[in-house]
Structure 1
Amino acid sequence: MLRGSALPSTKALRTFVVVANSLSFSKAAKELSVTQGAVSKQIASLEQQLGQTLFERHLNGIVLTIAGEQYLPHIIEALEQVQRATAELAQSEQKEETLSLNVTPSFASLWLVGALDDFCQKHTNLSISIRTGDGPLRTVNSDDDIVIRCLPIAQHYKNAHLLRSESLRLVGSSTLLTQKPITVINDLKQHDFLSHVTRPQLWEQFKSSEQIQHTLNFYGVGFEHFFMSLEAVRAHAGLALLPDFMVDGLVERQQLKNPLNLELTSGYGYYAIIPSYKLNSRLVYLFQRWLKEQLQ
């Protein structure tokens, strides 16, 4: 039982975690930049306060006791919560406003993260929080300021603003397309194609738009997200259809090739969906305007 009303110090708890991870007083002392005696003193004081032995001391080293094994994960979690809360508070003091975004994984990783510096340079004293989501959006009742989804082009989405229609480039790695060049449409026969498991119709649309008669050969793995397909393209696995604004920079740098300048207008578009009660937010307005400018 915990003796007295005082809780263990964070210094003692931090020392306990480091010792438990290294199972060595000397290694823990080196990591904490203190003496081995100071580490031993912290652990002994903590054990005395808890009324429990946390480590078994042996000639060849130390091991956690059953009590120590039970205590460790709770302390790690508690220290992480304290660290996270402290960081969030420190950041909130430095920023005047916070914008919360919920975007598709590929939109985030292949475009938004790289583009955001432009917005942040123009609008200082703000904090942006990004998390990812995907799939159909049945409701906009969330804590997010702006939700970005790729959806079939339509007029019925509530509080949705079309940012950009989706145009997909046919791309392959420069290495692959040097080894197996495509100079005419019939050369596609020698390549494997990367399927998009949530939108399997894309390749049929592509065949129809390019009037391709032969059967396409598909790579043995399908991918849920464009960023996964891009990694497979980089690994020379085959050809993929990827959004133009996500890959045009790679094509310009000749990391990827767009053979015959083939592309597909998919019938989808990228929408910014904003809850009605946040439509009057100054920061939401500024960010939505910036998105439209960048994605035109």
Structure 2
Amino acid sequence: MRTPLPSTQALACLEAAARHQSYTRAAQELSLTQGAVSRQIIALEELLGVPLFRRTRHGVALTDAGRHYARQAARWLLELRQGTLELMARQGAGGSVALATVPTFATRWLLPRLPQLARHHPDITVHFDVRTRPFLFAETAFDAALFAGTAVQVGNWPGVHAHWLMHEDIVPVCSPQLLARAASREPGRAWQPVAPPAIAGLPLLQQSTRPLGWQQWFAAAGVAAPRALDGPRLELFSMLATAAAQGLGVALIPPLLIEQELARGELVIACAAAPQRERSYYLVTPEQPATPALERFTHWLIAAARGADTSGADLA
């Protein structure tokens, strides 16, 4: 007995009607008549044996089953569109990697190195999307993920292989002008770092996703800092880097994410204390065998990371 399969037209009508909560607006989007959308939904409900919508005074509303199935349909259609466009673009050659990634690491570290990938593997295309937390690969269209976290966090991610890339060394950075004022030096001497107690007297920039970052840094340095939780909160390292370069305060940022700002002198390392190493960067892949494109991308990325940090090991 064959498994019943809905048509893509029926799924498209469901997805559009679910978004708009209206057959009429779905019909306008899909260039169909309202009756055609209604017939597609009725046929889909008959195939499934489950009502997907219920009539209301203002139109239609999803049932619980319809809401669940519409979310799945939206994902299926997106994957189908992406796969179709990918095949059309590549004409069957090479391959692609759909990568979920933490944003600043992708922008500041990986993207500048992609020309190297293009030279070695010109037939591989990498697509980027932002994800900052673990997820189930079976519920997404991602082939791999770049993740920043601890070994424990990665070890608790079910159904994956995790390839260690590099440590995330966190150091305090600020503008040279702010550091000069803190050390009572002339601006030309601003690159000289100060001791940890001096950092406690400067305005601090907080990362909203790591709200205890400064508190942990001062504790590791053995410094009492009553104002460790004070200061504006920003979500991304790139936001912190911009704010720090404008002299708004000191930020805790991995140097590998601000290489250009450090090279241009817009930011300087404010304190010579040992960097903190609570997290690392990992390439996370599903347990099932990798596609040839993902396998080559993985080997290239690990080699590129070894050029930045030669310690560490793979986790299985």
The answer, yes or no, to whether TM exceeds 0.5 is yes
Instruction: Kindly state the Cα deviation for residue 227 of structure 1 after the two structures are TM-superposed.
Output: 1.5
| Map of 1:97 onto structure 2 | 95
1:241 maps to which of 249, 252, 256: 252
Q: Check whether the contact 1:153–1:267 (CA below 8 A) recurs between aligned residues.
A: no
Whole-angstrom distance in 2 between the partners of 1:100 and 1:86 = 14
> What is the letter of the counterpart of residue 273 of structure 1?
V
In 2, distance between residues paired with 1:85 and 1:294?
28
How many Å apart are 1:104 and its aligned residue?
0.9
Question: How far apart are the structure 2 equivalents of 1:220 and 1:242?
Answer: 16
Q: Does 1:174 align with 2:172?
A: no
* Structure 1 segments unaligned to the other structure (5+ residues): 1-83
Structure 1 runs (4+) greater than 4 angstroms displaced: 84-90
For the structure 1 residues 184 and 165, does the alpha-carbon distance in structure 2 shift closer, same or farther, using more than 3 Å as the test?
closer
Count of residues in correspondence between the two structures: 211
What CA distance in whole angstroms lies between the structure 2 residues aligned with 1:204 and 1:90? 52
Please point out which of 269, 287, 301 is paired with 1:291. 301
Mapping for residues 236-275 of structure 1, pairs under 5 Å: 236-275=247-286
Do structure 1's residue 186 and structure 2's residue 197 form an aligned pair?
yes
Amino acid at match of 1:197: S
| Correspondence 1:139 to 2:136 | yes
Name the structure 2 match of 1:59.
none
Tell me which residue corresponds to 1:33: none
Provide closer, same or farther for how the CA distance between residues 259 and 220 of structure 1 changes in structure 2, counting only shifts above 3 A.
Answer: closer
Q: Does 1:226 align with 2:241?
A: no
Identity of aligned residues (%): 20
SS of the residue corresponding to residue 108 of structure 1 reads helix
Output the amino acid matched with 1:166.
E
Match of 1:192, SS? coil
How much does 1:180 deviate?
A: 3.1
TM-score, normalization by structure 1 = 0.63
Answer whether contact 1:219 1:237 (CA < 8 A) is retained: no
SS at match of 2:207: coil
Q: Indicate yes or no: 2:117 matched with 1:119.
A: yes
Q: Residue 170 of structure 1 contacts residue 262 of structure 1 at CA under 8 Å; is this kept in 2? A: no
For the residue of structure 2 that corresponds to 1:162, the secondary structure is: strand
Deviation track 1:66-110 (CA, whole Å, cap 9, x = no partner) reads: xxxxxxxxxxxxxxxxxx999867632395211211101111222
1:212 is matched with 223
The one-letter code sitting in structure 1 at the alignment partner of 2:119 is: Q
1:151-166 mapped onto 2 (5 Å cutoff) = 151-154=149-152, 155-157=155-157, 158-166=160-168
- Which residue is 1:69 aligned to? none
Paired with 2:131 and 2:222, the residues of 1 have a C-alpha distance of 35
Does the C-alpha gap of structure 1 residues 207 and 148 become closer, same or farther in structure 2, counting only changes over 3 Å? same
Give the aligned CA root-mean-square deviation in angstroms: 2.7
Residue 202 (structure 1) aligned with residue 199 (structure 2): no
**Unmatched 5+ residue regions in structure 2?**
1-81, 184-192, 310-316
* Structure number with bigger Rg: 1
Output the amino acid matched with 1:176. L
Residue by residue, what CA displacement relative to the aligned partner does 1:19-45 show, whole Å, maximum 9, x if unpaired? xxxxxxxxxxxxxxxxxxxxxxxxxxx
TM-score, structure 2 as length reference: 0.59
